[in-house]
């Protein structure tokens, strides 16, 4: 496995070696890296609200905004309460058997490739795995990436082209959005990707509609979304099922793949860590504590496995962007500076995760052993890969189960 995980600018920001804890990154925006300030910015009822950064990520399949891109706090709370039980650990574990079918196929493919003895790109296979997991949980069946051993429909390639444009739009001042939009049609690759993207949208809706026609299907996460639509319409109707399922593709496939890749990469780069993890797994196997496909409960009891997964997400968080919020009326003091009302402020996990006062003098290094130190519980409070506060990633539990099981198996 080859690759480069390089976040040097974040290291410098994290420890104030060049900048200090707050940096102005635009005329009306500051990036903050401080263990206390983030608690103010993302506090429940703190008054800081989401910015238009999130609007470029909206799927626009329903008259109602999804839980990720909804800017209005009251509407977000209302929607999240309707669906949060679907993403609870209890529900995710009830659906674990569907995830197991994807892992079983992944392991079968890995065995076939190992028998051939040829080199292959495992990062590609990991992405196919996470895409198929979303298909299995939120659309009733795998999309077919692992079965066909390829990027079905060119969906992932299209996402890789479109997503950078969406992020660029998100970070540009809104007045420049029209200019960016006007430039996009001149790119043949972008036009093709939009066509593929539209095809994925159509396929995702078709899979949901097929389940509706069945009347009542297996008790997976798609079925639970449909149950909410039957009970809560018109506040949550079939278009909202389209929206939340579709959002799961883009919020849960690439990001989870990044976390798994980070763990695999750093295990390959650190053979001592790999050996310690293998020894823990072998010990649990010898003691009869592991199923043929490891359950999440079994995986979570392996302390070194948990440390490796946490450390992988710490050193390479899946989203290395600030999670911007508007400063509320009256302004706020952050890190000893007064920030006026209306300014955009946020925390980038790729900086916060390297603050030495939190994670130790070796914060720049991949070292799972840090999670056995005295301050491990305090470190855990500052992990930001899923965000914090009321807007913490609703799919956190799905991703956690995916990552722990994959790394263990």
Residues at the binding site are: 393
Any idea which residue has 């292959």 for tokens?
Answer: 120
Q: Is 305 helix (H, G, I), strand (E, B) or coil?
A: helix
> Do residues 344 and 29 lie in contact, with contact meaning Cβ atoms separated by under 8 Å?
yes
- Rounded Cα gap, residues 276 and 382, in angstroms: 26
- Rounded Cα gap, residues 335 and 337, in angstroms: 6
List of residues 6+ apart from 333 with CB closer than 8 A: 339
- Rounded Cα gap, residues 199 and 239, in angstroms: 17
Q: What are 267-271's contacts with CB under 8 Å, separation 24+? A: 267/308, 268/1, 269/366, 270/366
Structure tokens at 213: 């026609």
First to last CA, the chain: 18
Could you give the dihedral angle defined by the CA atoms of residues 366, 255, 1 and 132, in that order, rounded to the nearest 10 degrees? 140
53 closest CA partner among 381, 390, 384, 348: 348
Structure tokens at 272: 């001592």
List of residues 6+ apart from 398 with CB closer than 8 A: 87, 92, 137, 248, 252
- Rounded Cα gap, residues 366 and 313, in angstroms: 10
Binding site feature residues for heme: 393
């Amino acid at each position: 496995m080859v690759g480069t995980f390089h976040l040097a600018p974040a290291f410098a920001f994290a420890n104030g070696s060049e900048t200090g804890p707050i940096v102005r990154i635009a005329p009306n925006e500051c990036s903050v890296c401080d263990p206390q300030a983030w608690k103010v910015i993302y506090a429940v009822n703190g008054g800081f609200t989401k910015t238009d950064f999130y609007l470029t990520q909206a799927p626009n399949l329903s008259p109602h905004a999804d839980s990720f891109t909804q800017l209005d706090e009251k509407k977000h709370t209302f929607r999240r309460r309707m669906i949060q039980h679907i993403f609870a650990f209890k529900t995710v574990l009830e659906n674990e058997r569907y995830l197991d079918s994807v892992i079983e196929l992944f392991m079968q493919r890995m065995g076939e490739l190992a028998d051939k003895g040829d080199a292959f790109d495992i990062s590609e296979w990991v992405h196919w795995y996470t895409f198929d997991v979303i298909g299995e949980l939120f659309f009733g069946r795998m999309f077919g990436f692992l079965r066909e051993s390829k990027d079905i429909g060119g969906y992932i390639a299209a996402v890789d082209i479109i997503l950078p444009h969406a992020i660029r739009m998100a970070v540009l001042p809104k007045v420049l959005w029209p200019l960016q939009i006007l430039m996009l049609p001149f790119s043949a690759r972008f036009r093709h990707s939009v066509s593929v993207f539209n095809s994925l949208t159509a396929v995702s809706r078709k899979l949901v509609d097929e389940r509706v026609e069945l009347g009542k299907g297996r008790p997976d996460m798609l079925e639970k979304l449909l149950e909410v639509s039957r009970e809560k319409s018109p506040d949550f109707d079939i278009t909202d099922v389209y929206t939340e399922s579709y959002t799961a593709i883009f919020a849960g496939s690439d990001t989870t793949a990044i976390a798994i890749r980070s763990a695999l990469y750093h295990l390959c780069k650190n053979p001592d860590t790999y050996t310690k993890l293998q020894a823990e797994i072998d010990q649990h196997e010898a003691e009869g504590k592991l199923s043929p496909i490891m359950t999440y409960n079994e995986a979570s009891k392996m302390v070194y496995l948990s440390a490796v997964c946490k450390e992988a997400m710490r050193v390479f968080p899946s989203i290395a962007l600030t999670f911007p919020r508007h400063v509320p009326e009256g302004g706020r003091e952050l890190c000893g500076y007064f920030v006026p009302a209306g300014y955009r402020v946020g925390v980038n996990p790729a900086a916060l995760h390297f603050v030495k006062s939190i994670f130790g003098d070796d914060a720049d290094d991949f070292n799972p052993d840090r999670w056995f130190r005295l301050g491990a519980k305090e470190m855990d409070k500052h992990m930001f890969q899923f965000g914090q506060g009321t807007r913490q990633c609703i799919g956190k539990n799905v991703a956690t189960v995916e990552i722990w099981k994959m790394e263990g198996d």
